[in-house]
């Protein structure tokens, strides 16, 4: 009985790690696409209340908007 519980716990841990690693790699890959720009108006419009895109070193960066 104890062996079956240990096996179940091990499988839960493995599944959790696979899910975590998958989400981590998806999040890091989606953040690497940068839009080239020359000025702030070349960047896309952000509808977020606290963040916006700014042109920094010819790349559009997601920056915090200070109130």
Distance between CA atoms of 35 and 15, rounded to whole angstroms? 35
Quick one: 39 and 29 in the same domain?
no
Quick one: 41 and 25 in the same domain?
no
Instruction: Give me the domain span that covers residue 67.
Output: 34-67
Per-residue pLDDT tens digits for 4-32: 888 889 999 999 999 988 888 776 655 55
HEC string for the chain: CHHHHHHHHHHHHHHHHHHHHHHHHHHHHHCCCCCECCCHHHCCCCCCCCEEEEEECCEEEEEECCC
Per-residue pLDDT tens digits for 32-66: 567 899 998 998 888 878 888 889 899 888 888 77
pTM of the model: 0.45
Quick one: 3 and 28 in the same domain?
yes
Quick one: 29 and 39 in the same domain?
no
Quick one: 29 and 41 in the same domain?
no
Q: 62 or 1: which carries more pLDDT confidence?
A: 62
Quick one: 3 and 14 in the same domain?
yes
Distance between CA atoms of 63 and 61, rounded to whole angstroms? 6
């Amino acid at each position: 009985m104890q062996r079956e519980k240990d096996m179940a716990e091990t499988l839960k841990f493995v599944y959790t790690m696979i899910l975590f690693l998958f989400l981590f790699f998806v999040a890091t890959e989606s953040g690497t696409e940068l839009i080239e720009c020359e000025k702030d108006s070349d960047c896309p419009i952000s509808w977020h209340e606290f963040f916006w895109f700014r042109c920094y070193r010819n790349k559009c960066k997601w920056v915090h908007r200070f109130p």
